[in-house]
């Protein structure tokens, strides 16, 4: 799955093809719609322009906390203190979990407060629990953004409050959201919860689509005067060839209602205007190729997972594939080693997708005589 995500990150940088269906008019300053199943950007507008990300910032805040849980630096049942700095967030913004310095909430409770209630106080408490200080935690956020190659993102805080230099883009936010879905499926369920009650205060999830579209299962809202109303929404719908997940990001809509309706419009259009076509099943050999100086004479090449591509509705018959590989292929070869590329194009030659091809089974090097004989054959060749 992580290899597929690497392909997706590259695909996110590619603008939807000119001949693709045109999206509906979307009342948002910036947006991007991505098919996470086929790893293709379906539509976008100014997706790389840096913007105030508002509380969409908390996607990266949560990702860093999820990483700390994975690395056993925290547990969900662990309690954390509430500092005066966390409590002071109530002086700045109404997005709160309503923590008090006398409380010692669990990490699980703070994550629900961060994700469902969008609590700035929860963000600060978690940041201090993971990294000691908010400033140290922000460094972790920026380090992760740099590792992913997010060129239009820089974090100055963990909450998303407007601050000079605090920025991200629709595409960078989509990449962050995609990493949460791919890297931490065990925690993604937090984003589907419709409400949460803490300290007898019940708050609804601000993502209105969770109540309107049963296929939407996340992710995050945001609002500041500079950002406008923003929403990351992900839907997972059933189709004859399997489930298909789309992710939309909208920045700069005028109201809470608009961010929901424009996101819904994008998702519905993406599902109807494009088909997800399965090219190869998971584990299936795409090509069997000669190997030199190996214990066996052939290697099976395939992909890390099933291969899907997104094409305009009804265009599945216009697809063709081509394998490009290293030649000669010389042992030893490790399982999972990339040795080629599967290129998917239309019959007219327009590119649709490029998928890394990897060795499905290791090929050890042969003995001395086998290597010598293949050296002679290669020389003659």
| Contacts of 304 by beta carbon, 8 Å cutoff, 6+ apart | 1, 2, 3, 4, 336, 356, 358
Query: Which one is catalytic: 55, 168, 234, 366?
Result: 55
Strand partners, 311: 275
- Identify whether 95 is a catalytic site residue: no
- Tokens representing 132 are 């000691």
- Identify whether 167 is a catalytic site residue: no
pLDDT recorded at residue 326: 82
pTM here is: 0.87
pLDDT of the chain, 381 residues: tens digit per residue: 444 444 455 444 443 443 678 999 999 999 999 999 999 999 999 999 999 999 999 999 999 999 999 999 999 999 999 999 999 998 887 899 999 999 999 999 999 999 999 999 999 999 999 999 999 999 999 999 999 999 999 999 999 999 999 999 999 999 999 999 999 999 999 999 999 999 999 999 999 999 999 999 999 999 999 999 999 999 999 988 789 999 999 999 999 999 999 999 999 999 999 988 888 888 889 989 888 788 888 889 988 888 898 889 888 888 899 999 888 888 899 999 999 999 998 888 888 888 899 999 998 987 665 566 556 555 666
Query: Which one is catalytic: 7, 38, 40, 58?
Result: 58
Nearest to 43 by CA among 34, 30, 55, 56: 34
Query: Which one is catalytic: 7, 38, 95, 118?
Result: 118
pLDDT recorded at residue 306: 86
- Identify whether 118 is a catalytic site residue: yes
DSSP labels for 245-270? EEEEEEEEESSHHHHHHHHHHHHHHH
**Going from the N-terminus, what domains does the chain have, and what CATH number goes with each?**
2-274 (3.40.710.10), 281-380 (2.60.410.10)
């Amino acid at each position: 799955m992580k290899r597929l995500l690497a392909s997706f990150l590259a695909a996110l940088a590619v603008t939807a093809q000119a001949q693709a269906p045109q999206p509906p008019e979307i009342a948002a300053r910036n947006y991007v719609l991505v098919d996470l199943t086929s790893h293709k950007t379906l539509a976008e507008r100014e997706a790389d322009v840096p913007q105030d990300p508002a509380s969409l910032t908390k996607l990266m805040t949560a990702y860093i906390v999820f990483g700390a849980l994975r690395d056993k630096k925290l547990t969900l049942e662990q309690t954390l203190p509430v500092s005066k700095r966390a409590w002071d967030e109530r002086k700045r913004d109404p997005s709160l979990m309503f923590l008090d310095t006398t409380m010692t909430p669990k990490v699980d409770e703070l994550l629900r407060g961060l994700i469902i209630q969008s609590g700035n106080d929860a963000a600060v408490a978690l940041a201090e629990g993971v990294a000691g200080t908010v400033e140290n935690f922000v460094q972790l956020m920026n380090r992760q953004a740099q590792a992913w190659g997010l060129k239009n993102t820089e974090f100055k805080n963990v909450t998303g409050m407007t601050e000079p230099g605090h920025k991200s883009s629709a595409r960078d936010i989509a990449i962050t959201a995609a990493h949460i879905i791919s890297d931490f499926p065990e925690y993604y369920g937090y984003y589907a919860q419709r409400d949460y009650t803490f300290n007898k205060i019940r708050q609804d999830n601000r993502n209105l689509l969770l109540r309107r579209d049963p296929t939407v299962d996340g992710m995050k809202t945001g609002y500041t005067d500079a950002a406008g109303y923003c929403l990351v929404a992900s839907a997972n719908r059933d189709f004859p060839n399997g489930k298909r997940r789309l992710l939309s990001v909208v920045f700069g809509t005028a109201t809470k209602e608009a961010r929901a309706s424009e996101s819904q419009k994008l998702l519905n259009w993406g599902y109807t205007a494009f088909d997800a076509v399965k090219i190869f099943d998971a584990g299936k050999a795409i090509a069997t190729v000669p190997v030199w100086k190996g214990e066996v004479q052939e290697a099976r090449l395939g992909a890390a997972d099933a291969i899907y591509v997104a094409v305009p509705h009804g265009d599945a018959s216009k697809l063709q594939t081509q394998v490009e590989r290293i030649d000669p292929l010389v042992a030893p070869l490790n399982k999972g080693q990339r040795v080629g590329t599967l290129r998917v194009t239309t019959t007219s030659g327009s590119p649709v997708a490029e998928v890394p091809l990897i060795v499905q089974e290791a090929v050890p090097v042969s003995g001395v005589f086998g290597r010598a004989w293949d050296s002679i054959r290669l020389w003659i060749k």
